Amino acid sequence: MKRNLLTVLILSSGLILSACNDSDDNGSSIIGGSTDPNANNITNPVVGIPTAYSKDDMSAVAAESVVMTYKMKGVNDKETQATALVFVPKTTPPAAGWPVVAWAHGTTGVADKCAPSQQGLKGTEVLLKQLLAQGYVVVAPDYEGLGEPSGREVHPFLNLKSEAYSITDAVVAARDYIKKQGKSVSKDWLAIGHSQGGQAVLGAAQYASRAQLNYKGTIAVAPASNLSLILLGGEAQANEMNDLSAKISTLASLDTYTALITAGLRNKNPQLTFSQVFKSPTDTLAQSAETLCSGDVGLTLGGGMTKYASENNYSLEGYPRTQSNFLELSAVSTFLISESQPLQVKLNQPVIIYQGGADATVPKKVTDFLLTGDGAKQSNITYRTEAEWDHTTAYTANLANIVNDVKSMMPAQ
């Protein structure tokens, strides 16, 4: 039943999900100087002296592990500061220097304390250690506004260009930092990401020319896309559920993403309020997205539903969740149709996408639909799927395959 509902939504949502080919970049790789208006020409991109990163015990494979503050072009087209983890391998660099792998993390939240550089890598260090052992520099940006030093900027959650520039500009800054230590680092780089990070690396591929380096390819695992479809499909699935606990879990997850999107949109659209998106008193619960990490936001929203159901004959009938027209708000609709959507243009480097058939967070049919667009059809995409992979195992079951993909796309020696 769930797949049938999602199929109906795909077929009936062409207008709201259509991608706009209004990008000002075609993802080309550029080595050396560029007249590209998007090119990163920031001088002295590293801010201050990077500080030691001691979480996750990377010492066996990393000669250096630091938190780097760097300059990037932000969502408001102004220079801002962001943070990234930088790991330097213990291996001897090849003649051309160590190649660079950018790692883009999944959803953690929009509050500064949710940044991987502050809370740790939460298991993703397993892949990063394998890459370091193979002789790759690893750069793991927190993303714009997530962990940023001033504490004044909210992370523009799932904004494709913001994520892309967070990645490209972190790679540029990391190379600058490593080179100034007299170490050799290559111009070759590629990007890997999961979930939100999968969407982010598709963005990095689109805007790869900003780094003015040699971009070699993209590995995206369960990449977020077509967010309207995910939200509408989730609502349809929840409506078919009879089990109250399962329904609350599904709706709380959907509302968590909506709350994070709302919080992130307030960076570029400060006039947008939670009460425009959520009904009262859920708007107050949703505002916790600005201070809590995603898991706790979900618990807060789910707690509100559980309390209501316990007081209303164990039913959610009449529970005040989202406003009926919130998808039509100008800031929201622009974000969903264009600002968050990957693969709107042809990508000029190879792309590998891993997607599970049992994924309830980014359903396979959503990714299937993403690959029907013109940008995807014109790109060199390898699509790897298995029916049993869910949102997590599409990543964890393929760690060795991902390392081999990296070695194939961009040999370390």
Q: 286-306 pLDDT, tens per residue? A: 999 999 999 999 999 999 999
* Distance in angstroms between the alpha carbons of the first and the last residue of the chain: 50
Q: 339-355 pLDDT, tens per residue? A: 999 999 999 999 999 99
Residue 7 confidence (pLDDT): 52
Percent of the chain with pLDDT over 70: 92
Can you tell me the mean pLDDT for 105-132?
A: 97
Can you tell me the mean pLDDT for 131-145?
A: 98
CA distance 88 to 63: 6
- Assess contact for 390 and 364: CB atoms under 8 A: no
Q: Is the pTM of this model over 0.85?
A: yes
| pLDDT > 50? residue 30 | no
CA distance 1 to 254: 19
In which residue are the tokens 């969903």 written? 336
Q: Would you identify the CATH topology of the domain 46-226+344-409?
A: Rossmann fold (3.40.50)
Q: Are strands 79-89 and 137-141 parallel, antiparallel or unpaired?
A: antiparallel
Give the contacts of 365 (CB within 8 A, at least 6 positions apart): 3, 6, 7, 10
Cα 360 from chain centroid (whole Å): 17
Parse the chain into domains and list their residue ranges: 46-226+344-409, 227-337
CA distance 135 to 94: 9
| pLDDT > 50? residue 31 | no
Left (φ > 0), alpha (ψ -120 to 50) or beta: where does 313 sit? left
Q: Are strands 185-194 and 137-141 parallel, antiparallel or unpaired?
A: unpaired
| pLDDT > 50? residue 90 | yes
Residue 12 confidence (pLDDT): 46
- For residue 17, what pLDDT band results from cuts at 50, 70 and 90? very low
For 6, the token pair is 């999602």
Residue 18 confidence (pLDDT): 39
- Assess contact for 65 and 138: CB atoms under 8 A: no
- For residue 36, what pLDDT band results from cuts at 50, 70 and 90? confident
Residue type, 319: Y
